Structure 1
Amino acid sequence: MDRLEHIDNEILDKAIEESMHSPYRLGYHVQPVVGTMGAPCGFCYINGLFHLFYEWQPTVTNDSVTYLYHVTTEDLVTFNYEGVKVRPESLYDNYNIYGGSLAVVNNVLTLFYTGIQEKNGEYITHQLAGEIDTGFKVQKLPAPIIRGIHSKYNTYFRNPYVFTEGSEVNLMLGTMNESEFGRAVMYRGESVESLNLLGELNTGYDMFGYFWESPEIFPIDDAAIMILNPRGLDKYKNNFWNIYQSGYMVNDFEYNSLFVDHDDFHEFDNGFDFYRPVTTLDKNNTRIMIASMSAHESEYPTEKDGFKNALTIPRVLTIKEDRVIQTPHPNLKKLRGEKITALGYFDQYPKKIQDFYGSQYELCIELKELTTNEISFLLRKSRREETVIKYNVENQTVILDRTFSGEPINEVDGTTRTVELLRPLENLTVFMDRTSIEVFLNDGEHTMTARIFPSEEAVGVELVTENGDCLVEMTYYKLSSIMEAPVITSRDKI
């Protein structure tokens, strides 16, 4: 497999140049300088700074080993690219790395991850850790905190999630049991070096996918939220249309018995491109989430320019009637330009919103009166292209349609995604970037996220109903871009 250390500097510099000048680069999302951004694998707030790690490969060919890349931010809007901080070069991770989590343990910011050791032709899985110093260097612990795979489990045994409870350190892993069904197991100890296997979390989901990737559990208000990323779920109506899923269960978690008494599993996002979210608390104890804005199986047009994938905007998580609500982080208002508003009736004759054009904006829409059965919002519109959000009043469904959203995305099932709403649609907020769309429905009760690749001419906004009309109030903000630095291995400290 390709390694960063083996890539000629001139070749790497040329690849970075092509990537950074690609017309596909997003304006205000975190994305890789070059190569493939994997899932986020560590998110933590400490001493006024958010730290975020993600899996990274130096090429887009899937023939590269994985590294862990580090970014920091004070406000979740402007990000500093700190560079690669963990390489697969030590005894216990010399073959490859999988991500994990960040946690403050004994007042030290610590990164946890999975290492694959190659030894005499064998591949051995270990759970590893490294302490992050004030210069943002990761000092790997000399020995694994968990050696090998427990005999009850299979090849998948990775992505450690760590949290503390009182004086105890807890480590949760996603895995597959001997019957090839997904499980989450818990280790616990007085320190990182003294973890013992307690057993599996008792969720009652005995046959729910073949591998539970990157599990996470945390409280919001009086409830516990358990995140699962199960592989191998079958489609059911409008659910589970992507190959790999990301969702949650609202539950009561019995810490001492590992019993999880939970509500149904709900997908976090009903779009195309959302995977493996991570969360942290900010200084106000608000739960913040960021996810990979990609689908693991999809092939994106960005690959021709040498880079792939991005992260979603940061989202605030709250609880309402046993459902997780996602809303855009309020700091994103810093990106806003001039405010433009419009109020009017729309009918079956498509109507252009002349001032609401562009490729990088926030659009807030409120539905005031509906005498129609269907209303469509045509975004990134040109003569041949459009990305459609369609609301069917009778079925109470929203469809996100990227059939004509520009260059095709390969290795994905279909060009539409549908969500059935909990209540009639009253409002939606759209965060549009150059090659992405994130839709928040009914104050964040549902979200739909997708990558789209329209031409530069596709900047229009139109509304149209099937019959009848609809009174709509809209607010539009053009959004500015964030600065990117082409950093691979380090960043000078101020």
Structure 2
Amino acid sequence: MFLVEWTKEERYKRLEEIPAEQYQALLEETTQSKWRQHFHIQPPTGLLNDPNGFVYHEGLYHLFYQWFPLGPVHGLKYWYHVTSSDLVSFESHGPVIIPDTKYDSHGAYSGSGIVQDNRVKLVYTGNHRDSDWQRIPYQIVAALESDKVTKKTIIEGPAPGYTSHFRDPKVWYENGYYYIVIGAQRTNSTGTIVIYESDDFNDWRFKGELGTEYNEFGYMWECPDYFELDGQDVVLFCPQGIEKSGDQFNNTYQSGYLIGDLDKETFRMEHGEFTELDNGFDFYAPQTTLGANGERILFGWMGLPDTDYPTDAENWAHCLTIPRVLSVENGRLRQRPLPALEKMRGAVETAEGYAMKHNIKLHPYEGSCYELIVDVLENESTEFYIELRVSKKESTRLIYNRADKRFTLDRFDSGALSEKVEGFTRSVVLEEDLTKLQIFVDESSIEIFLNNGEKVMTSRIFPRKDATGIRTSTESGQVYFKFTKYDLTVN
């Protein structure tokens, strides 16, 4: 059923309109994919993108993602709902936000969740197209009831001075007021974040823009998020249209953060530089919430708009990252894997010793679904290499240059990647010498946490089933490694 070219009519066909046997065939095709993940949230069919509506309420996490069920393209978006008590095992509830009103007739776009009046409420952008195919955005509140979803429009169209690119509301409550930040594009084609305020969750007042030093930084800002963390104000957003700069901003679209102090009366923010959240190939549209223990937890979309990957031919695309706990340390965000993920750990194997040039060691364990912790105990090399998912023809290479403190992820030989992807290497320079890596490898992805979350690199990879080995070597000099590998149990 894979379509090379999707027409407008096909992209906006409703799931409810297709025969049950046709959707069943899609499900079976997706299930048989050799690149289905084992411990990541992924769509049953079609395309997954932004995590949405992430909220914790009465012992349960609610998480949604945008979903086009009929193929690996962006079309008529639903919100697919999963819940979890621990963010390790998830229960699927299927599509909950369905584009069934005038105000979301052409898709339920991104948004967030909040507990209000002891109910989970979702605030999202409804995408409506008129007869001339002009977009009209509406901000909608949807309340989750036991057997239904009720919707109410709270903001109609863009505010004056902004284009129809006006979406992705993030809502929070503070000091007697509800606030919403929305990603926007000014009429001069520059990106920004706008703010609304309400004291009753019904009537919303436009308060202006979030004041930053980045007034002409890309043509659109998507998926804003705001929170306080460790005494600092943090703003996440995804600017589109940023020029590449050395190791920075090398993907099609970027995702990053500002840290500083936000004045809640003027909404002017004093802050540091915009910093990328993830330095890999596949990370976008992150969303956070407060967890059961007051920690700030993040999920991201492991993908990007306009990405061409081999799962497209199997009629599905993308997944979410593992959950990450955030902290502010020395003026920077750190991201660490959620500790509860340790519940997935099964059999453990260890190996340690020296890696040297001309002494490439194939470690005695293999696999395609594991957590690998690498301690760099001594490093006298100029450059060392760790290769994962290794076969005779394939490997995903991790390269560290000690002089420059530069870490590189190289997926040139990582299997079936299209020539259309945005390059095959990504690099990041660390503040401190590399001493520790924590790596999560799934059937078709890798997430690398460097120096206890100082930097993170996320990527999809598509190796063959027999690419399971682990190998180390150096350019010159020797490195003493300790490897700890945990097989990860499948949910």
> TM-score, structure 2 length as denominator?
0.95
Tell me what 2:5 maps to: none
Deviations 1:28-76 (A, max 9, x none): 0000000000111221111000000111001235363111111111111
1:10 aligns with 2:4: no
Greater displacement, 85-94 / 398-407: 85-94
Partner of 1:23: 34
> Aligned partner of 2:378: which letter?
E
Contact 1:116–1:125 (8 Å) recurs in 2: yes
- After TM superposition, list the pairs within 5 Å mapping 1:285-434 onto structure 2: 285-434=294-443
After TM superposition, what 4+ stretches of structure 1 lie above 3 angstroms from structure 2? 118-123
| Whole-angstrom distance in 2 between the partners of 1:410 and 1:100 | 33
Give the secondary-structure state (helix, strand or coil) at the position aligned to 2:202. Answer: helix
Taking a change above 3 Å as real, the CA distance of residues 341 and 63 of structure 1, as seen in their structure-2 partners, is closer
Q: Deviation per CA, 1:451-480, whole angstroms, max 9, x where unpaired? A: 000001100000000011011111111111
Answer yes or no: is the 8 Å Cα contact 1:352–1:460 preserved in 2.
no
Q: What CA deviation, in whole Å up to 9, does each residue of 1:301-322 have, x standing for no partner?
A: 1111111100000011111101
- What's 2:8 paired with? none
What amino acid maps onto 2:31 in structure 1?
A: M
Q: Distance in 2 between matches of 1:83 and 1:214?
A: 23
The residue that corresponds to 1:114 in the other structure is: 125
* Number of the residue aligned with 2:251: 242
TM-score by length of 1: 0.95
Partner of 1:59: 70
2:134 is the alignment partner of 1:105: no
- 1:438 and 2:447 aligned: yes
1:233 corresponds in structure 2 to 242
* 1:186-221 CA distance string (max 9 Å, x none): 010112221010100111211111111011110111
Contact 1:298 1:410 (8 Å CA) reproduced: no
Q: State whether structure 2 residue 139 is matched by structure 1 residue 127.
A: yes
Q: For residue 22 of structure 1, what is the amino acid of its counterpart?
A: S
Alignment RMSD, CA only? 1.3
Task: Specify the SS of the correspondent of 1:430.
Answer: strand
For residues 358 and 13 of structure 2, what CA distance do their matches in structure 1 show? 55
Q: Kindly tell me: are residues 63 and 419 of structure 1, through their superposed partners in 2, closer, same or farther at Cα, counting changes over 3 Å?
A: closer
1:263 aligns with 2:275: no
Distance 2:261 2:383 in 1: 40
Amino acid in structure 2 at the alignment position of 1:30 = I
How far 1:167 sits from its partner (Å)? 2.1
SS in 2 for 1:104: strand
Find the residue that maps to 1:418 and give its secondary structure: strand
What SS class does the counterpart of residue 22 from structure 2 fall into?
Answer: helix
Q: For structure 1, which segment, 27-36 or 112-121, has the greater mean C-alpha deviation from structure 2 after superposition?
A: 112-121
The superposition leaves residues 417-463 of structure 1 with CA deviations (integer Å, 9 ceiling, x where unpaired) of 00011111011111000100000000110000000000011000000
Contact kept, 8 Å, 2:297 with 2:324, in 1: the verdict is: yes
- CA distance in 2: counterparts of 1:56 and 1:103, whole angstroms: 21
Q: Deviations over 1:235-290 (max 9, x none)?
A: 00100000111111111111111011111111010000011111111121001101
What SS does the corresponding residue of 1:145 show, helix, strand or coil? strand
Quote the offset at 1:120 in angstroms: 4.6
Mapped to 2, the partners of 1:107 and 1:278 lie a distance apart of: 21
Which residue number corresponds to residue 52 of structure 2?
Answer: 41
Out of 65, 88, 91, which is 2:99 matched to?
88
Whether contact under 8 Å (2:77, 2:106) holds in the other structure is no
Query: What secondary structure sits across from 1:109 in the alignment?
Result: strand
Aligned residue type for 1:456: K
Is contact 1:374-1:390 (8 Å) kept?
yes
Q: What is the letter of the counterpart of residue 425 of structure 2? A: T
AA aligned to 1:204 is: E
SS of alignment partner, residue 320 of structure 2 = coil
CA distance in 1, matches of 2:264, 2:472: 51
Q: Which residue of 2 aligns with 1:209?
A: 218
The answer for unaligned runs of 5 or more in structure 2 is 1-11
Is 1:469 paired with 2:469? no
Q: What residue is the counterpart of 1:485 in the other structure? A: none
Contact 2:136 2:164 in 1 (8 A): no
Note if 1:165 corresponds to 2:174.
yes
8 A contact 1:3–1:64 mirrored in 2: no
Higher relative contact order (CA 8 A, sep 6+): 1
Query: Which residue does 2:84 correspond to in 1?
Result: 73
Given the superposition, is the C-alpha separation of residues 283 and 346 from structure 1 closer, same or farther in structure 2, using an over 3 Å criterion?
same
Secondary structure of 2:340 counterpart: helix
Change (3 A) 1:444 1:211: same
Q: Output the CA distance in 1 between the equivalents of 2:392 and 2:95.
A: 43
Deviates more, 1:119-128 or 1:74-83: 119-128
* 2: CA distance, partners of 1:99 / 1:148: 15
CA-CA distance at 1:134 after TM superposition: 3.8
Distance 1:69 1:31, change over 3 A: same
Contact 1:105 1:164 in 2 (8 A): no
CA contact (8 A) 1:130 1:138 kept: yes
Q: Which amino acid aligns with 1:29?
A: H
Match of 1:489 in 2: none
SS in 2 for 1:19: helix
Name 1:491's counterpart in structure 2.
Answer: none
